[in-house]
Amino acid sequence: MTAGATIRTVHDVAGLAAVAAHFSDVWRTPRTAPPYPAEVLHSLVHAGGAVHAAHDGPRLAGASVAVPGPDRSTYSLVAAAERGLGHRLKLAQRDWALATGARTMRWTFDPLVGRNARFNLVKLGAVGTEYLVDFYGPMSDGVNDGDESDRLTVTWDLTARETPYDTEPHGPVLRTAPDGGPLVRRAGRHVWCRVPRDVVTLRAADPALALRWRHAVREVFLEAFVEGFRATGMSRDGWYTLTGTREAA
């Protein structure tokens, strides 16, 4: 379905309005109240940012927004695409950023969404460098409503080769997760932290349980980051790899 898709930067009003509508559909908001209105997207482009759109034939199938940052960096504000197009969108953002002279790109995502963590940390080779508690405050879209908006900042070295990094969790179980299974393991220079299999579905079915997961994972990350750990991997079954600079005592 996506093999023949095309990706281009968008500058025209109609194209930016279509991107705004796409983001409304993804985040389940009314199209009259998109998370990124077309006029905001137009201002970001005018200020030197880039809006990329992926089209599968005439149909809009994905979009992303990035802006320049300080010290040869860029910041990706948002990206959403159908399966198979996300990687191509990020590569298009990378090409644009490199052309501006940037060497790194940062963005945030919900650390409980394991599939996004795997894409960012393993597929792209970015590193989780900062944990942000309730970053946006209360959110009222159809995906995040009822939860606290913790976010993990990732930093992507645009000049590095993609280097997937994964280690299987091992070592003693140090904490129990809200579902009764293991939450944290630690051995050597690594801590492993598990997240729920599908937090979006869980949040809709049992928001109280989803919030307990939020708080449990938050505590692990905050403690690990204070110790100098960084998020470097995510397994297919929902285990983060956090890598530190020294062996566990």
pLDDT 10s digits, 11-21: 999 999 999 99
Could you give the CA distance from residue 103 to residue 231 in angstroms, rounded to a whole number? 20
- Beta sheet of 151-157, edge-to-edge order: 6-9, 50-56, 59-69, 73-81, 104-109, 151-157, 127-132, 230-234, 239-243, 190-194, 182-187, 173-176
Q: Which residues pair with 156 in a beta bridge?
A: 105
What share of the chain has pLDDT > 70, as a percent? 94
Give me the helices (H) in the chain, please: 13-27, 38-46, 86-99, 114-118, 199-205, 207-226
Has residue 165 got a pLDDT over 70? no
Q: Which of 107, 115, 239, 123 is nearest to 186 (CA)?
A: 239
Domains annotated on the chain, with CATH:
1-102 (3.40.630.30), 104-249 (no CATH)
Q: What is this structure's pTM?
A: 0.91
Query: DSSP 3-state assignment of 96?
Result: helix
